Structure 1
Amino acid sequence: MPEMNASLDPSGDFLTNWTSVSTTNSSNFTTEIPSTDAVTVAHDTLSTETISIFVELILAAIGIIANSLVIYVIARYREMRTVPNVFVLNLALADLLYCCEFVPIWNAQYFLPNKWIFGQAMCTITRALYGICGNASILFVIAMSIERYQAVADPIGHHQRSSKKRTWLISAGLWMVSVIFSIHIIAFSKVETYGTHKGCKSDPTSVAPYEDYMKGILIYRFVAWCILPLSILVPCYSRLYYKLHHGDHDVIQADSSAAGSTAKSRNRVTRMVTVVVAVFTVSWMPLHIVYLVKYGFHLYSVPEGHHDPLELFVAMLSSTNPMINPFLYALLGDKFRIYMKKVLCCGRG
């Protein structure tokens, strides 16, 4: 679940407004008795939140099964262990970690009487995984796109330069970068007590005022997770499109049947990666735009105690991405489809 959904603030920090829809802040726990109107609002809010969380958990369950299948297929069948599929496997791993660890544990606090019961270590791990998996997803989407451009623009040179060992080393480096850019989450994660409740949140007050920190984080995420990737992906796919449709015919449509088959296979993989990147962008960009506008610059708000339908929509949209990727592989990747059928229908291959 994106970190600002449900009873969460922009950093994934637990708000203290659990017993009343009336006023509260990040350091005070309020226990006043709500009015009849407040009870009605709270009931509607809780119903909406409960439904959204159950949908999140269903999507996560589908994502766990589907991404596990992708990882198994690539690991099980030698023919699937190609250079582009190394990046696909790592993207599936990031999606799997997000679905099986972050989503269920983060949502569990909504149903628990004391909210966060998992301790400081799990608070740090759970929040860190959100950042690490988010960073990794972006980096592997970019890596897949660059690899596809090189495969189409310079197929001979790409074949000579690329190797699975080199691709695994690149993947390890991308995971390290993902961890490095999540250090601030690890450093500031903290379990805090509000009355009888506990919350897993970020406490950056030792280095910066909370509001300034949050604005900086939201700007960073918008730039690092939206603007920077698009500045790489748009030129990459523009040139890729040109190569595919206006490039040399001896590269795109080879004369020999063997070369023609290779070109068709290369173009199918390219099509699959293109759709994965497009879906990733459409799924995540609205979330970061809404969060930056609403929480970073406070350009709009909703009445206290009410859910923002726009925020709920973009949060739900982003949550579909880890679940939908494996289905894109199956629909657009011929080999993925064949081997997934073998596993699902026969149980062996």
Structure 2
Amino acid sequence: MMLTVLRWLFLVSVIILTIGGNVLVCLAVGLSRRLWRIANCFVVSLAVADLLLGLLVLPLSATVELRDGKWPFGGTLCDIYISLDIMLCTCSILTLLAISVNRYLAISSPLSHCQKVTPQRVALAIISIWSLSLAVAFLPVHLGWNTADYRVQNLDWVTGDEDKEGRYCQFEWNNNYVLIYAFGSFYLPLLLMCGMYLCIFRVAREQVRRIRATTPSFARSATATLAREHKATVTLAAVLGAFIICWFPYFTFFTCMGIKEKTNPPNTLHSVVLWLGYFNSTLNPILYPAFNRDFRQAYGELLRGPSRRNLQLTHVSVQSRLAFINAIRASHQSKKSLETVQMENEKSLPLFEKNSPDDPK
């Protein structure tokens, strides 16, 4: 009983943190002008993929975990659930690859980066990533490419058959296509990303060496620009590292199971490596503020809430009213002073005229 409660608390916590954290990323980029940069379009795309995972996939995965692997929604929804899981995972991998390419262009050729990475090209890249992920996920499952006999899985599975022996909602692993998918959508992009970041760090080290040989005035401005780019690179490298740690065990397990002839039912090891992979979607919104000051400031502004902002606006409004009242009082006082001076002048004028030597008597 206690183990079930702990599992329930862990799964619900991961889902809530995943949804809340990625919503916070989207709001931070959307509302903070400091984060309105081309590179953050890919960050938002990654956050949207993680958010959809938390909304559409993780609740169903948690249901299966708490029901000891039994899927209560029938075969059609099972195939859709598997396809969504594959699509969002593939989208995250390809988005990270696009981020690494953008970082390389920003570091290696900062002067021509704006000409190469335009909003139109970024939009086209994001649309291509989502379209390719959709095709890679839905076509194989719904055309039967992943099964041993190339028939669509779960066609004869109706709601209520979850108690039948051998019924598990999982991506069938007993086909060579699964191995092709694992290498094409995970290992190959992973190698490309690692190679890209290795080139980035080499270029960054060379730039630092060149800057130290320049004049001090130029070095200060160049160092500030490169420091900002290097911080962004470190942030995204941390995101990549977390992705490798979280998803590498799952894809290794996935590949090993694909070599076997028979699909094994879900077990404890499968659950551990699967949720370790899901946990990556929870970590990404935490890694951004940990390594990026602009994200920390944007998060702080959002988390202060409307009450704090309203209080600040009220304080400013009160100060403005007080300044207006003081200005009115000052104007009244100056007006009274002017009237007093005029009255005194009017009183002193007859006396002056009376004592004037030119006054006829």
Shorter-chain TM band: 0.7 to 0.9
Q: What is the CA–CA distance in structure 1 between the aligned matches of 2:276 and 2:94, rounded to whole Å?
A: 20
Give, in angstroms, the shift of residue 247 of structure 1: 3.6
Give the CA deviation at 1:76: 1.8
Equivalent residue, structure 1, for 2:292: 333
Question: Cα gap change, 1:282/1:112 in structure 2, threshold over 3 Å: closer, same or farther?
Answer: closer
Offset of residue 152 of structure 1: 0.5
Residue identity in the other structure for 1:246:
E
Confirm or deny that 1:219 pairs with 2:179: yes
C-alpha displacement at 1:193, in angstroms? Answer: 4.2
User: Given the superposition, is the C-alpha separation of residues 290 and 127 from structure 1 closer, same or farther in structure 2, using an over 3 Å criterion?
Assistant: closer
Displacement after TM superposition at 1:241 (Å): 1.3
The answer to whether structure 1 residue 317 and structure 2 residue 276 are counterparts is yes
CA apart distance, 1:261:
2.0
Q: Cα–Cα, structure 1 residues 53 and 127, in superposed 2: closer, same or farther, change >3 Å?
A: farther
Q: CA deviation at 1:233?
A: 1.5
Select the residue among 183, 189, 196 that pairs with 1:236: 196
- Matches of 1:253 and 1:117 in 2, distance apart? 67
- Partner SS, residue 156 of structure 1: coil
User: Which of these residues, 185, 197, 202, is aligned with residue 162 of structure 2?
Assistant: 197
Spell out the pairing of 1:11-90 with structure 2 (5 A cutoff): 51-52=6-7, 54-90=9-45
Equivalent residue letter for 2:125:
I
Gaps of 5+ in 1: 1-45, 204-209
TM-score using structure 1 length: 0.72
CA contact (8 A) 1:64 1:96 kept: yes
Query: How big is each residue's C-alpha offset from its partner over 1:186-232, in whole Å with a ceiling of 9 and x where there is no partner?
Result: 444646149753767479xxxxxx7xx63324313430233201221
Over aligned residue pairs, what C-alpha RMSD do you find? 3.5
2:114 aligns to what SS in structure 1?
helix
Give the drift of 1:333: 1.2
Q: Which has the larger radius of gyration?
A: 2
The answer for unaligned runs of 5 or more in structure 2 is: 144-151, 310-361
CA displacement 1:158-179 (0-9 Å, x = unmatched): 1222223321221011101111
Alignment deviations for residues 101-134 of structure 1 (CA, whole Å, 9 cap, x no partner): 1110233255579954546664343222101101
Report the counterpart of residue 241 of structure 2 in structure 1: 278
Name the amino acid aligned to 1:57: V
Moved more, 331-340 or 154-163: 154-163
Change over 3 Å in CA distance of 1:251–1:235 after alignment to 2 = farther
- CA 1:70–1:229 in structure 2 vs 1: closer, same or farther (change >3 Å)? same
Question: What is the alpha-carbon distance in structure 2 between the residues aligned to residue 253 and residue 275 of structure 1?
Answer: 30
**Residues 114, 201 of structure 1: alpha-carbon distance in 2 compared, 3 angstrom cutoff:** closer
User: Residue 128 of structure 1 corresponds to which residue in structure 2?
Assistant: 83
CA shift in 2, pair 1:340/1:194, >3 Å: closer
Q: In the alignment, what sits opposite 1:185?
A: 141
Q: Which residue is equivalent to 2:224?
A: 261
**1:253 and 1:101 mapped to 2: Cα distance?**
54
Q: Relative contact order: is structure 1 or structure 2 higher (C-alpha 8 Å, sep ≥ 6)?
A: 1
Aligned residues: 292
Q: Which has the higher helix share?
A: 2
In structure 2, C-alpha distance between the alignment counterparts of 1:222 and 1:129, rounded to whole Å:
16
CA contact (8 A) 1:221 1:288 kept: no
State the 1:49 CA deviation.
7.3
**Residue matched to 1:297:** 259
Distance 2:192 2:91 in 1: 16
Q: For 2:212 and 2:120, how far apart are their aligned partners in 1?
A: 27
Moved over 6 A (4+): 46-50, 251-254
Match for residue 107 of structure 1?
62
Residues 1:52 and 1:186: Cα distance change in structure 2 (over 3 Å): farther
Matched residues in 2 for 1:150 and 1:321: separation? 26
Amino acid at match of 1:139: L
Post-superposition offset of 1:297? 2.8
- Residue aligning to 1:148: 103
- Greater displacement, 117-126 / 164-173: 117-126
In percent, how many aligned pairs have the same letter? 21
